[in-house]
Amino acid sequence: MSPPILVNFLRRLCPQARWKQEAAFRLSILVLTYLSYMSYHLSRKPISIVKNAKAFLDCDISEHTDPSNVSCRSWITEIDGKTEKEAKTYLGFLDTSYLFSYAFFMFLSGLVAERVDLRFFLSIGMMMSGLLTVMFGMAYSLGIHSIWYLIFIQIACGMFQTTGWPGVVSVMANWFGKGKRGVIMGIWNSHTSLGNILGSLIAGAFVTTNWGMSFTVPGMIIGGLGFLIFLFLVPNPEDVDLVPPVEQRSSQPQSAYEEDDPLMNGNADKDEESPPPSPTPPPVRSPQSGSPGAIGFFGALRIPGVVEFSLCLFFSKLVSYTFLYWLPNYIHTKSHVNAEEAAVLSTIYDWGNVGGVPVHDACFSWNILVLFSTGILVNGPYALITTAVSAEIINFLGQHPSLQGSHKALATVTAIIDGTGSIGAAIGPLLAGPLSGNGHWERVFYMLMGADILALILLVRLTKHELIKLRRNRWSLRSTPDYRSINNS
């Protein structure tokens, strides 16, 4: 693919040594992809903030009022006059219409990203996401009160937002390869949290005065960054006459514990503690033999590790996205602060106040510790799983015999894992609405605790085999002549 015109112009204007060009392009890729995916999350956040605005939903309940008999006031015609439980259920539809659309199209987006120019793929996705986000905000200025208009916008936005993760991960893989991808992406993955924080702060700044601007400003940001991607992103090093990164591969033969990995060869319960056999070189696929076609859906599910990773990401995203979409509402309801203050407090998982004014006492400090720890424990594993899916799981599953030489099969596997996780992200907020009705927030937390326990259980088998491999690797290392000679000396 030819690079953008402005990139060619800058290369002619500032000719440099090849190594300087490569360093400059790598830095630009880091910055552009970071800003790109940050803006995706920035534009997703406003709905969780705006649904706390009194103009959008007002269920003012006094201490002596039966919540089941209160009629809520709302901007949305279909919600106006409903009870709090019914109103929150309708609001849940706004979240889940986007999330289910995102989950459905995620199964297809990765396959499309492999076949098109990633610069167009990302820039079109970002600019369309920006346009649709602005259109959601225009409901305020144009006086559109139909929930079906808003749901249509959410569904269309979910479709275009799926361009983000496959697009930026593919560009990063093209420029950094497997050798550095894990370390770099571990730091680079902070774009998600930064996007959520900025999205909350921007939406919160307008939510009490003009909730339409809470969508318009993030929409303009992602649309503008999408145009920047169109002007400057170079998806592949070859597009600017640079050599792609060489995949780092050990010159040593495949270690015995990898060759005889019980998880990879399906013999998980057979002779796990036996000494490893002599290492043998892995079979080499003949170029003339061709590569297998795309693997079937059920065939991919039979590959060891796919089901566990998929379901673990399902429950992890269920927890993470329930916090993402409902934490501001929880803070707004329980602490009686306005929507803007709830938006700010939700960015740090922090709350402890009386009458909307923070009180810096022992309870406040305890809430800071608990909510900050909750943010780490909820978002940390979710971020690690998504990073591993993009960088390490492909490498791990690629060793399986049914996937050797088939990039289409790998795309199918990663689509299953990401898509399954996105379904969990849709179900969590959907259930949180009716469960929290009439002030029963404890039901939501019981759901989240159950999901975390199931995610933990799903990792037990994989953790067990990782520990076995580590122990066998140490045993194999200690049996080598070099190790024995060093130890004896």
- Taking the C-alpha atoms of residue 381 and residue 385, their distance in angstroms, rounded to an integer, is 6
Calculate mean pLDDT across residues 414-425. Answer: 78
168 contacts 33 by C-beta, under 8 angstroms: yes
- Taking the C-alpha atoms of residue 30 and residue 8, their distance in angstroms, rounded to an integer, is 19
pLDDT surpassing 50 at residue 354? no
- Could you count the other beta carbons within 10 Å of the beta carbon of residue 366? 11
Q: What are phi and psi of 58, to 5 degrees?
A: -130, 105
Better pLDDT: 294 or 236: 236
226 contacts 122 by C-beta, under 8 angstroms: yes
Q: Could you read off the pLDDT of 311-323 as tens digits, one per residue?
A: 888 888 888 888 7
Please tell me the predicted confidence (pLDDT) of residue 367.
61
Q: Could you read off the pLDDT of 6-18 as tens digits, one per residue?
A: 887 777 777 776 6
pLDDT surpassing 60 at residue 407? no
Q: What are phi and psi of 357, to 5 degrees?
A: -105, 115
380 contacts: CB under 8 Å, gap ≥ 6: none
CB burial string 115-129: b at 16+ within 10 A, e below: eeebbbbbbbbbbbb
Q: What are phi and psi of 74, to 5 degrees?
A: -150, 155
Q: Could you read off the pLDDT of 144-181 as tens digits, one per residue?
A: 999 999 999 999 999 999 998 888 878 887 887 655 55
pLDDT surpassing 60 at residue 203? yes
Question: How are beta strands 57-58 and 73-74 bridged, if at all?
Answer: antiparallel
Distances (CA, A) of 172 to 32, 102, 311, 379: 10, 22, 26, 22
Q: What band does 278 get if pLDDT is binned at 50, 70 and 90?
A: very low
Better pLDDT: 429 or 44: 44
- Could you count the other beta carbons within 10 Å of the beta carbon of residue 296? 11
19-240+254-268+295-476 fold: Growth Hormone; Chain: A; (1.20.1250)
- Taking the C-alpha atoms of residue 165 and residue 170, their distance in angstroms, rounded to an integer, is 8
Return the CA Rg of the chain. Answer: 25
Q: What are phi and psi of 143, to 5 degrees?
A: 70, 35
pLDDT surpassing 90 at residue 245? no
- Taking the C-alpha atoms of residue 128 and residue 134, their distance in angstroms, rounded to an integer, is 10
Please tell me the predicted confidence (pLDDT) of residue 64.
44
Better pLDDT: 361 or 142: 142
Tokens of residue 354, six digits: 């009386």
What average pLDDT is seen over the chain?
74
174 contacts 236 by C-beta, under 8 angstroms: yes
Residue for token digits 């740090």?
348
CA-based diameter of the chain, in Å? 83
Better pLDDT: 232 or 347: 232
Question: How are beta strands 353-354 and 357-358 bridged, if at all?
Answer: antiparallel
CB burial string 167-205: b at 16+ within 10 A, e below: bbbbbbbbbbebeebeebbeebbebbeebbbbbbbbbbb
171 contacts 235 by C-beta, under 8 angstroms: yes
The domain segmentation of the chain, as residue ranges, is 19-240+254-268+295-476
Q: What band does 284 get if pLDDT is binned at 50, 70 and 90?
A: very low
Please tell me the predicted confidence (pLDDT) of residue 230.
95
Q: Could you read off the pLDDT of 57-70 as tens digits, one per residue?
A: 777 655 445 555 66
184 contacts 4 by C-beta, under 8 angstroms: no
